[in-house]
Structure 1
Amino acid sequence: MVLGKVRALAVCFDTLNESNLPVFSGGEMVSGRVLVDVTGDVRVRSLDVTARGVAKVRWTESRNAGANTAYTQNYTEEVEYLQHRDCLIGEDRDEDAVDDASTLLRAGLHEFAFSFHLPQMALATSFEGKHGSVRYWVKAQLQRPWMLPVKTKKEFIVFEHIDINTPLLLAPQAGSKEKTLCCWFCASGPISLSAKIARKGYTPGDSIQIFAEVENCSSRVVVPKAALYQTQTFFAKGKGKEIQQLVSNLRGEPLAQGKSQSWEGKLLKIPPVSPSILDCPIIRVEYALVVYVDVPGGLNLSLSLPLVIGTIPLHAASSRTSSVSSHGSTSSWVGVAVRPEAPPSYNDLAFSEAHRRHCLRGSEEHHHVHQATSLLTYISEFRYLPPPLYSEVDPYPDPAGVCCVQEATTLETCPSR
Structure 2
Amino acid sequence: MSVEILDVIPDKLEYWPGETITGKVILKVKNSSIQSQGIFLNFKGGATVEIMEQVRRMQSGNRRSSTLIEHYAYPNSENLLSITNFLAGDGRTSLTHREGDTTYPFSIQLPSHLVSSYYRISAPIHYRDSGTQCKGQVLYYLEVGMMMAGMAAHVSQKTIAIHAHLDLTTVPETTQAGEAEATKTFCNCWSCCFGCQSGPFILKVRTDKRGYLPGETIAFEVEVRNESGRIIREISAQFIEAATMVGQGKTECAIIPLGEMVVSNQEFRAEDENWRGELVVPMEGTVYPSKLGGGCGIISVEYFIKIVAHANGCGNQDLEVSSSVIIGTCRGGASRVPSAKIKSYLKCKFNRHSSTFIQYFLINK
CA distance in 2, matches of 1:65, 1:192: 39
Structure 2: 5+ residue runs without aligned partners? 62-67, 122-134, 350-365
The 5 Å alignment of 1:27-106 reads 27-45=18-36, 46-61=38-53, 73-93=72-92, 101-106=94-99
Aligned to 1:112: 104
Greater strand content: 2
Match of 2:346 among 364, 375, 382: 375
* Residue identity opposite 1:175 in structure 2: A
SS at structure 2 position matched to 1:375: helix
8 Å CA contact 1:216–1:222 kept in 2: the answer is no
Aligned to 2:267: 255
Q: CA deviation at 1:32?
A: 2.4
SS at structure 2 position matched to 1:129: strand
Instruction: Give per-residue Cα distances to partners, 1:170-189, cap 9 Å, x unaligned.
Output: 11111334433231266655
Instruction: Give per-residue Cα distances to partners, 1:200-241, cap 9 Å, x unaligned.
Output: 111110110012222444233431221111111111235202
The 5 Å alignment of 1:232-381 reads 232-248=243-259, 249-258=261-270, 260-264=272-276, 266-272=277-283, 273-275=286-288, 276-277=290-291, 278-296=294-312, 297=314, 298-313=316-331, 346-347=338-339, 349-350=340-341, 375-376=346-347
SS at structure 2 position matched to 1:161: coil
Structure 1: 5+ residue runs without aligned partners? 94-98, 317-341, 353-372, 379-417
8 Å CA contact 1:224–1:293 kept in 2: the answer is yes
8 Å CA contact 1:47–1:140 kept in 2: the answer is yes
- Please report the RMSD computed on the Cα atoms of aligned residues, expressed in angstroms: 3.5
* Residue identity opposite 2:329 in structure 1: T
Question: How many residues are matched?
Answer: 313
SS at structure 1 position matched to 2:168: coil
CA distance in 2, matches of 1:50, 1:133: 20
Aligned to 2:355: none
Instruction: Give per-residue Cα distances to partners, 1:368-404, cap 9 Å, x unaligned.
Output: xxxxx951579xxxxxxxxxxxxxxxxxxxxxxxxxx
TM-score by length of 2: 0.74
* Residue identity opposite 1:43 in structure 2: I
Instruction: Give per-residue Cα distances to partners, 1:147-167, cap 9 Å, x unaligned.
Output: 993121111111221112232
CA distance in 1, matches of 2:69, 2:235: 45
CA distance in 2, matches of 1:313, 1:73: 43
8 Å CA contact 2:231–2:268 kept in 1: the answer is yes
Q: Percent identity?
A: 23
8 Å CA contact 2:117–2:163 kept in 1: the answer is yes
Aligned to 1:12: 9
Instruction: Give per-residue Cα distances to partners, 1:260-285, cap 9 Å, x unaligned.
Output: 54234x21111122222253110011
